[in-house]
Amino acid sequence: MSVKIPIYASLSSIGAYVPSRIVSNEDLSKIVETSDEWITKRTGIKERRFAEDNEATSDLATKAARIAIERAQIDISVIDAVVVATISPDFFCMPSTACVVANNLGIINKPAFDIAAACSGFIYLLSLAKSFIESQTYKNILIIGAEKISSILDMEDRSTCVLFGDGAGAAVIRATEDKSLSVLDVQCAANGQYQELLMTPGCGSRYPASAEILRERLQFIKMKGNETFKIAVKTLTKDVVEILQRNHLSKDEIDFFVPHQANLRIISAVGEALGFSSEKVALTVQKYGNTSAASIPMAINDLYESGKIKQGSKLLLDAFGGGLTWGSAILAFGCQ
């Protein structure tokens, strides 16, 4: 009787792309009533990237994906599925951004679809990929968090337009027999009770596109910042404690804590509550702003390109976003 060898999911490569256009706090102060001091004090953000008018979310995603695929040292033909997390898709409902990206890459006759979990999107993607790999449904999955948030920002609303930026992060999740280089655990959750705290209310089936909806600027992101902040800090901290306890790990066994890059005050509050030193906390919000589903893979990519993480490094990921959604993951970095 043959023994079935366990198969695990491994994050075997990472890649990211940011648009070339840098938008500083000073640039925004010329558009809305704000200042570098006001933005920096409340968010920690100094600048962000905005895509050009002719750049779509799929373009950012495709460029990040090419880097991840090259680093994975695999042929595009072996990719079994493409999944994109985004709240700023190329098209309202179809085709999916993943279909566009797959076509750009030359991936045909393979599943391609989007998910919408806002800033928690990449964690949700990891959960899906882990399930697909461990069930042996697929062997190689391309997951991408990509956003052109600037396309859904109200540039007359200083409470939101200063927070967000554009970018994309991609990873190849591959099957492995080496548990020491695997995605150890992922947990995701949501609570729609708080949906009105962070949402884009207009142009869906609830409030279809109309002259009135556009006049009221409901096609743009709306956020109740103070309420979201309080729930985010409490939820993120609790979520991390739970996943560490479930896996019988202490914070000292984590090489890097990679939180969603929404706001420096949230990152600092959660990091301090969990007892992580500043050296262990990935920080990119100051130069990219909040890139929603792209922020965690972009932050991992920054750690990788700076040489701070290597194969086997243990990462703890944590995110919170509109929905409200949240999630955390523990993984051993599989990229060489």
Q: For the whole model, what pTM was predicted?
A: 0.94
Provide the angle, in degrees to the nearest 10, between the axes of the packed helices 264-274 and 36-43: 30
- Helix, strand, or coil (residue 147): strand
Q: For the chain, how many helices (H) and strands (E)?
A: 11, 13
205 C-beta neighbours (distance < 10 Å), count: 6
| Token output for 296 | 């965690």
pLDDT of amino acid 225: 75
pLDDT by 10s per residue, the chain, length 336: 455 788 999 999 999 999 999 999 999 999 999 999 999 998 999 999 999 999 999 999 999 999 999 999 999 999 999 999 999 999 988 999 999 999 999 999 999 999 999 999 999 999 999 999 999 999 999 999 999 999 999 999 988 999 999 999 999 999 999 999 999 999 999 999 988 888 788 888 888 889 988 888 888 888 887 788 788 888 888 899 999 999 999 999 999 999 999 989 889 888 888 889 989 999 999 999 999 999 999 999 999 999 999 999 999 999 999 889 999 999 999 876
Contacts of 104 (CB under 8 A, 6+ apart): 58, 59, 62
Scan for tokens 């560490």, then name that residue. 244
- Residue 333's alpha-carbon distances to 3, 92, 153, 214, 269, in angstroms, are 27, 34, 34, 44, 25
pLDDT of amino acid 2: 56
Q: Which residues are catalytic?
A: 119, 260, 290
Q: What is the DSSP string of 31-82?
A: TSS--HHHHHHHH---EEE---TT--HHHHHHHHHHHHHHHHT--GGG--EE
Angle at 300 between CA 276 and CA 183, to 5 degrees: 85
